Amino acid sequence: MADKKSKREAIIYSALKIFERDGFHKAKVEEIAKEANVGKGTIYEYFKSKKDLFCQMVKHMMDLYIDMIKEIVEENIDPITKLQHLLNLQLELAKKHGALGHMIQIETIKSGIGKDIKPYFLEFRKKTIGLIEKIIEEGIEKKLFKKIDTYVAALFFIGSSNQFAFEINFVRNCKDEYDHEGKLDVEEFMNAFLKGLIK
């Protein structure tokens, strides 16, 4: 944590933790500083403002996420397994970072920081969708998938896997208050996604 870069990162990860838990407005700069073991003033040496810190944190996480998807896309495995890996990644991240993704989406729409992260978010979304499309295109080329619109399919995958992750990581944690007891595992999900509803 001695050199400049790692202190910046320490702050980013503390910010991640606090923003994740409290959302942008409820999060306190002082708590982020405490979490990072730095003084409150130090944060302002590395970031222009709370908003800037939030945006930098978001960018950082987006970049990491994109890298992780890229890795999967470039793996030497069949497209279906790639989608399965992607789903696993989603579940894992949701477990680690809660609804960070949703939060970013929301903050993008809301007034306030929206205008500052919108371009990054759109760029990120484009990249993510593009990478998923690649997997699907590969499946189409290999005659595994039908000639579906890859963009629609990608949206489909993102939306349903998010919902799936939310169900597993949040809703299922409120057992006392909730009670669906189905299997709800990855296989089940992939099956629905790949084969559709119709007989």
Partner DNA sequence: CATGAATGAGAATTCATTCAT
Partner DNA sequence: AATGAATGAATTCTCATTCAT
Q: Return residues touching its own copies (CB under 8 A).
A: 21-26, 98-99, 102-103, 105-107, 109-112, 118-119, 122, 125-126, 129, 136, 139, 143-146, 148-149, 151-153, 155-156, 158-164, 166-167, 170-171, 174, 177-178, 180, 182-184, 188-189, 191-199
Three-state secondary-structure class, residue 76: coil
Three-state secondary-structure class, residue 59: helix
Inter-residue contact 58 to 20 (CB < 8 Å): no
21 lies in the binding site for DNA (CB under 7 A): no
As given in the structure block, the two tokens for residue 42 are 């130090």
Interface residue with DNA, options 21, 23, 45, 191 (CB under 7 A)? 45
Minimal distance in Å, beta carbon 18 to DNA? 10
Q: How far apart are CA 69 and CA 18, in angstroms?
A: 25
40 lies in the binding site for DNA (CB under 7 A): yes
Inter-residue contact 30 to 40 (CB < 8 Å): yes
As given in the structure block, the two tokens for residue 30 are 């002082």
Minimal distance in Å, beta carbon 109 to its own copies? 5
Minimal distance in Å, beta carbon 62 to its own copies? 15
Q: How far apart are CA 21 and CA 27, in angstroms?
A: 8
Residues that bind DNA (CB under 7 A): 4, 7, 26-30, 37-42, 44-46, 49-51
